[in-house]
Every structure is written in C-alpha cells, then in structure tokens.
Copies of this chain bind each other. A is one copy, B any other.
Amino acid sequence: MKIATLGPEGTFSHEAAMKYDRKASIIFTDTIRDVFEAVSKNKADCGIAPIENSIAGTVGQTLDYLMEFGLKTKAEEILPIRHNLAGFGKINGIKIVYLHPQTYEQCEIFIKRNLPKAEVLQTSSNGKSAEMLAKSKSKEDAAIIPKIAADIYGLKILKKDVQDAKFNVTRFFVIAKSDSKKTGYDRTSIALYPQVDRPGLLYEMLGEFAKRKINLTKIESRPSKGKLGDYIFYIDFEGHKSEKHIGEALKQLEKSAFVAVLGSYQRKY
C-alpha cells in the first residue's frame, strides 16, 4: 500500500503513517494539500493528515481539503506526541538547540528550566531539526525531536519525554476515495453549512442528535470562505451513517443546512 503524508521523514505524520500500516511505502509531500492531491490523482492509496492536536487544536486545512477534494475519512489514528532531547554531549554542555517553533511551544517550560543559556535555532520541521543536528556533530549542539527522527538519523537521546504537557496527542485522519463499512464501534464526521440564518438554528440542529440519543464527540465552527461570522459546523458523533437513526437525523438536518458526510470509520477512543 502507498500512503501519502506530510514530509520530510522523521515527522509525527511519518510516525502516524507507520502506525497505520508498518509495511506501507510512504510518499512524502511538502504540504497537506499535496497529500490530498496524491490520493485524488491515484498516486497513493490513501493519505494521512493531522486533524487535531490536544494542545494546538484543529487543523483547519485538513477539514477544508476534505470538502474541496470530495475525499472521505476511512480511519482515524491517535498518536501520543512525545519529544526527546537528542545530542552528542551532556545536557549541561549544550549551547545550541535546533527546534521547530511548535515543538518549542510544547517544550517551553522544559527548555527554560534545563537549557536556560542555550541558543534556540528555529527550524521548519522536526525532521529538519534532526538533520541539522546530524550534520553538525558538535557536542555543544542538541535538537528536540520525535523518536522516529532520532532513529532515522542515528541520534542519541539524552532525555525522553521532554514535552511540558503530560497529555499531548494528535489525531490523524486516514483519507481515501471511500470511507469504511460499519464495525459496530464507529464514528461519523460531517460538515453542516446552514442555508438559513436565524438565531437558535444551531440549537435546533443539535436537537436532531439529542432526540435520537446520538452522542456528539466534537463540534467546531469555522468561518466559511465568505466572511467572518458565516460559519460551517464540523461535527463528529458516535455511530455509522448506515444506521437508521443516523440516516433520519441527517435527513432532518438537510432541511436547513447543506450536509456533507466526511466519512464513517471505526473509532479509536
């Protein structure tokens, strides 16, 4: 199987792809859009894209591209985000740290406490941080990177789990031309774009779920491309689109909103 995902190698997206299928051959892309293009043009069987991180929130592009390319979510993967301090020398001898800005945000308290005098050199990805350190070979240099990046570049881990938040996970969508069959433990993701504008409409729409005891697991409003204040709602709920009560709810919602089913798939939590 060919899986497209955001490169370079050694990123968390790479790790998620390996978790989904250890034997897959992986196509690394420059952007999330390219992941969708690869699947759309049959260059990959599926794609893996981050959909939300417990610290940073939802990845809006992934939602937008699902709509734009008309592709489906066929699975989800949950990956704990663990960062590691890698280097050639000792922690108290470190003078330079290579870091992706998002990784810096996630390890900020650790860095301020343990590497207060080190100069931080920001990089464009976690894979790049590992590459820079591998090239430098200096005992005074270090990088904060995922384990997969340390493995790829053969770097020694000086300290594991240096992320500040104990709970830090990223949820990924596995994108393909069609979604998955009912397993009995499923989740469905939809987009709702209201076609009428009246106060309380969201409340009414959520009533269609509440009265059928459909459990919502996520709700988010995002500005539609028109203007701020004109929102598309992205909703995840438990169950498969093929189930009768869910089909009924979707049919009711269609009376006041454009409804796009982004996919039904086995749930992992």
A residues in contact (CB < 8 Å) with B: 30-33, 52-61, 63-64, 78, 100-101, 104-105, 108, 120, 122-125, 128, 165-167, 169, 171, 199-200, 202-204, 206-207, 209-210, 213-223, 225-229, 231, 233, 269
Contacts and interface: CB of A to CB of B under 8 A. Distances in A.
A189 to B, nearest CB: 13
A200 B237 CA distance: 12
29 contacts: A30-B104, A30-B120, A31-B108, A33-B108, A54-B228, A55-B64, A56-B60, A57-B58, A57-B60, A57-B220, A57-B222, A58-B220, A61-B105, A78-B228, A122-B124, A124-B124, A167-B223, A167-B227, A169-B223, A199-B214, A199-B215, A200-B213, A203-B210, A218-B221, A219-B220, A219-B221, A219-B233, A220-B221, A228-B269
A56 B231 CA distance: 14
A104 B124 CA distance: 11
Nearest to A100: B124
Given A56-B61, A167-B226, 17 more contacts: A30-B120, A31-B104, A31-B108, A52-B223, A54-B228, A57-B59, A78-B228, A167-B225, A169-B223, A199-B213, A202-B219, A203-B203, A203-B206, A203-B209, A206-B206, A219-B219, A229-B269
Contact of A125 (B60, B101, B228, B233): B101
A124 B125 contact: no
Contact of A202 (B120, B166, B206): B206
Contacts of A57: 57-60, 63, 220, 222
Given A101-B125, A203-B209, A53 B60 contact: yes
A100 B101 CA distance: 11
Contacts of A214: 199
Nearest to A209: B203
Contact of A101 (B55, B124, B165): B124
A106 to B, nearest CB: 9
Contacts of A218: 221, 231
Nearest to A57: B60
Nearest to A55: B60
Nearest first, the 5 A-B pairs at minimum CB distance are A57-B60, A122-B124, A200-B210, A203-B210, A54-B223
